[in-house]
Amino acid sequence: MNETIELLQNHRSIRKLKDEPLSGDVIHTLVESAQMASTSSFVQAYSIIGVTDRPKKEKLAQLAGNQPYVAENGHFFVFCADFHRHIHAGEMEQTDVIPAIESAEKMIVAVTDAALAAQNCSIAAESMGLGICYIGGLRNNIEEVSELLQLPDYVIPLFGIAVGFPEAEPDRKPRLPLEGIYFENAYPAPDKHTEQLRAYNDTISAYYEERTAGARSDRWTQQVSGLLKDVKRPHMKQFLENKGYNRR
C-alpha cells in the first residue's frame, strides 16, 4: 500500500478545526490540485468561492444549520456547479448555448465536475496534514447562500468544505462491506441486499456501542431510515430550475 492509498483509506471528517487562516500559498495549491481533476469534455463546469470574510462565514455557519466549523476553520471553500462562464463563451462565439445548459444532462455534468474537483482539493489538504469536512448543510438555505455570495444564474452552491488543522481525531467509520457496493458484471438480486444490510447493521451497532460505552447502538438501516423519512430541502427542484438547471 503506497502513501497516497494509505491517505485515502485513512480519511475521516474533522468537525473541530483550528481557527487559524491557511496561507495564500496553501490555498493556491489546494485550488490548483482541484483544477487538475478530470472534467467532462474539458468544460470545467464549476467554480470555487473561498470565504474569508468573518461576518460572511458566521452567516454561512448559521444558514448551514448552526455548524460552528463553517465559521471556525483555516479556510472555507464553497464548490459550485457553474455554466455561467459558458454563456459568455457562447456570446463570444455567437452561439446559443442556453438550451443545452438547461438540460438535466448538463446538471449531472456540472455536479460531477464540481465533486471531482472538490475531492482533489480534500485529498490535497489531507496530504498536508489538514483536516476537512464537507458541508451539505449549505443547501438548507440555498437561496440565501447564493445571495450572500452574489452567485448569478447558472451557478449553484452545492456544498462547502471546511479545511484546517485538526483539533480532533475521530475514529474511522466502517463503510458498507465491499460486496455490498461492488458487483461484477450485473446488479445482484434483491435478497442479497437485505442479508448484507443485516450484517452491516451489526458492524455499525458494535462501532457505536464500543465508542459510547453501550449508550448508543444505532443500526445503519435505522440511521438512513430516520434521515429519509421526511423530504428534506424540498425547495431544491424549484431552485435548480430558477437558476437555469434541470429545465428540460
Q: Which of residues 166-205 bind its own copies (CB under 8 A)?
A: 172-173, 175-176, 178, 180-187, 190, 193-194, 197-198
Residues 6 or more apart whose CB falls under 8 angstroms from that of 1 comprise 9
Binding status of residue 152 toward its own copies by CB under 8 A: yes
Question: Exactly one of 21, 36, 202, 212 binds its own copies (CB under 8 A); which one?
Answer: 36
What residues form DSSP beta bridges with 135? 160
**What are the φ and ψ backbone dihedral angles of 174, each rounded to 5 degrees?**
-70, 130
Question: Exactly one of 46, 63, 71, 244 binds its own copies (CB under 8 A); which one?
Answer: 46
Q: What angle do CA 76, 3, 204 make, to 5 degrees?
A: 70
Is-contact 74 22, C-beta < 8 A?
yes
Quote the CA–CA distance of 206 and 217 in Å, as a whole number: 7
User: Using CA atoms in the order 29, 114, 116, 112, what is the torsion angle rounded to 10 degrees?
Assistant: -170
Nearer CB in complex with its own copies: 42/213 = 42
Using CB under 8 A as the binding criterion, the count of chain residues that bind its own copies stands at 118
Question: Exactly one of 17, 64, 70, 109 binds its own copies (CB under 8 A); which one?
Answer: 109
Binding status of residue 26 toward its own copies by CB under 8 A: no
Nearer CB in complex with its own copies: 172/211 = 172
Question: Exactly one of 16, 18, 56, 208 binds its own copies (CB under 8 A); which one?
Answer: 56
Q: Distances from the Cα of 16 to the Cαs of 25, 155, 165, 169, in angstroms?
A: 23, 29, 9, 9
Candidate segments 15-23, 143-151, 163-171, 205-213, binder of its own copies by CB under 8 A: 143-151
Binding characters for its own copies, 201-240, by CB under 8 A (x = yes): ------------------xxxxxxxxxxxxxxxx-xx--x
Question: Exactly one of 18, 108, 165, 203 binds its own copies (CB under 8 A); which one?
Answer: 108
User: Using CA atoms in the order 109, 112, 114, 115, what is the torsion angle rounded to 10 degrees?
Assistant: 180
* Least distance from its own copies to the Cβ atom of residue 61, Å: 15
Question: Exactly one of 88, 206, 210, 211 binds its own copies (CB under 8 A); which one?
Answer: 88
Binding status of residue 41 toward its own copies by CB under 8 A: yes
Grid cell of 234 as nine digits: 424540498
